[in-house]
């Protein structure tokens, strides 16, 4: 293998730049030429492709976002779109591809692999919802952004007797809400993986109120509905004053934490290592802090699940 490509796709996440840097530097270290494909699969189809040098990825390890930009591209879901992408790769003589992104991006990578094009998936999403790795690139940074915001809300919360509802990202995965809830001692965590009874949420609030608690914090993953709706329901059932904060896209930005930079560097480099070994159609990840790789089709057939022990612990500690 002489030439490889790298792209970022779908929702961006902090640490993607560190992963791109690792792909480029590891590739060049092994005498490969590395090409950057801009704007995800859209740029692959249109041929928005440029050679990257060592200096092209200088000074980006600490930056959020992705220097290759990202896009959502419906055309790539069609066999014709995928074929156009493969033709571009062949035109540039690119023999292997690293795709950094979430499960949607992995679907695209799987299609390329099925058509005989060597592709490796690197899990980059703040949601931590990809099987085959304990952590995805960006999760730790987003979690710390949430904690920082909740700490600030907590400061003002102690001055007022209110129920604070914080809506965090996570349409299908409650990892951000669960970890944030544990890290910030939230009274209640609502995650899409668990059924919730509003009466129980309210009973807990009332018990706290009777014990003289000045304020309560409820973390709602967006997959459980909007924070505003939860707040309205609580106000109706209890008469307690509520305040809602929807953290939104601040969770996607910011300088990646040390953890995410190291994770991204390890996973980006490992993707290149696999291509050098002639492997294809794999995803990289870490399990128990060791590098692992799995068949991409198998990873996509698995369902991400929440850590039940952690969920139980969050309940035990927030009685």
List, by residue number, the catalytic residues: 127
CA distance 209 to 49: 59
CA distance 145 to 167: 13
Q: Is 277 helix (H, G, I), strand (E, B) or coil?
A: coil
Nearer to ligand ADP, 12 or 184 (CB): 12
Nearer to ligand ADP, 77 or 162 (CB): 77
Query: What's the gap between Cα 287 and its chain centre?
Result: 16
- In the complex, what is the shortest distance from the CB of residue 149 to ligand ADP, in angstroms, rounded to a whole number? 22
Q: Is 186 assigned to a binding site? A: yes
Q: Is 312 assigned to a binding site? A: no
Binding interface with ligand ADP (CB under 6 A): 9-11, 41, 72-73, 76-77, 101-105, 107-108, 111, 125
Distances 178 to 131, 185, 224, 259 between C-alpha atoms, Å: 17, 10, 13, 19
- In the complex, what is the shortest distance from the CB of residue 309 to ligand ADP, in angstroms, rounded to a whole number? 27
Q: Is 21 assigned to a binding site? A: yes
By beta carbon distance, the residue nearest ligand ADP is 104
**What is the length of the chain?**
319
Q: Is 26 assigned to a binding site? A: no
**Rg of the chain's alpha carbons, rounded to an integer?**
22
Nearer to ligand ADP, 32 or 73 (CB): 73
Mention every residue, 6+ apart, whose C-beta is less than 8 A from residue 88.
Answer: 44, 45, 46, 47, 49
CA distance 236 to 230: 10
Is 300:129 a contact under the CB 8 Å cutoff? no
Nearer to ligand ADP, 66 or 242 (CB): 66
- In the complex, what is the shortest distance from the CB of residue 173 to ligand ADP, in angstroms, rounded to a whole number? 11
Q: Is 30 helix (H, G, I), strand (E, B) or coil?
A: coil
Mention every residue, 6+ apart, whose C-beta is less than 8 A from residue 2.
Answer: 32, 33, 93, 95
Q: Is 102 assigned to a binding site? A: yes
Token pair in block for residue 9: 């796709």
Q: Is 56 assigned to a binding site? A: no
Nearer to ligand ADP, 81 or 208 (CB): 81
CA distance 17 to 265: 9
Is 19:264 a contact under the CB 8 Å cutoff? yes
- In the complex, what is the shortest distance from the CB of residue 255 to ligand ADP, in angstroms, rounded to a whole number? 20
Is 279:302 a contact under the CB 8 Å cutoff? no
- In the complex, what is the shortest distance from the CB of residue 12 to ligand ADP, in angstroms, rounded to a whole number? 8
Q: Is 103 assigned to a binding site? A: yes
Q: Which residues are annotated as a binding site for substrate?
A: 125-127, 162, 169-171, 222, 243, 249-252
Q: Which residues are annotated as a binding site for ADP?
A: 21-25, 154, 185-187, 211, 213-215
Q: Which residues are annotated as a binding site?
A: 11, 21-25, 72-73, 102-105, 125-127, 154, 162, 169-171, 185-187, 211, 213-215, 222, 243, 249-252
Q: Which residues are annotated as a binding site for Mg(2+)?
A: 103
């Amino acid at each position: 293998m002489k030439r490889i490509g790298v792209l970022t796709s779908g929702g961006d996440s902090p640490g993607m730049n560190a992963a791109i840097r690792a792909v480029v530097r590891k590739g060049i270290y092994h005498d490969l030429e590395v090409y950057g494909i801009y704007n995800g699969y859209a740029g692959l189809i249109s041929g928005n492709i440029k050679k990257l040098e060592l200096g092209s990825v200088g000074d980006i390890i600490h930056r959020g976002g992705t220097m290759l930009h990202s896009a959502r591209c419906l055309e790539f879901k069609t066999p014709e779109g995928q074929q156009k992408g493969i033709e571009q790769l062949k035109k540039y003589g690119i023999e292997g591809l690293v795709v950094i992104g979430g499960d949607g991006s992995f679907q695209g990578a799987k299609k390329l692999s099925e058509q005989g094009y060597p592709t490796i998936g690197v899990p980059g999403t703040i949601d931590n919802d990809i099987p085959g790795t304990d952590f995805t690139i960006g999760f730790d940074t987003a979690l710390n952004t949430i904690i920082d915001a909740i700490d600030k809300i907590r400061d003002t919360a102690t001055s007022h007797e209110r129920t604070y509802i914080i809506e965090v990202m996570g349409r299908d995965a409650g990892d951000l809400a669960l970890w944030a809830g544990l890290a910030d001692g939230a009274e209640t965590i609502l995650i899409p993986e668990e059924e919730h009874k509003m009466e129980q949420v309210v009973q807990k609030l009332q018990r706290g109120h009777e014990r003289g608690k000045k304020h309560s914090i409820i973390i709602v993953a967006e997959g459980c509905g909007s924070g505003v709706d939860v707040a309205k329901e609580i106000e109706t059932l209890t008469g307690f004053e509520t305040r809602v904060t929807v953290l939104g896209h601040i969770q996607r930005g910011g300088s990646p934490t040390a953890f995410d930079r190291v994770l991204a560097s390890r996973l980006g480099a490992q993707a290149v290592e696999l291509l050098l070994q002639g492997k294809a159609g794999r995803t990289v990840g870490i399990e128990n802090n060791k590098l692992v790789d799995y068949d991409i089709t198998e990873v996509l057939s698995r369902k991400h699940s929440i850590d039940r022990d952690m969920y139980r612990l969050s309940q035990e500690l927030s009685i």
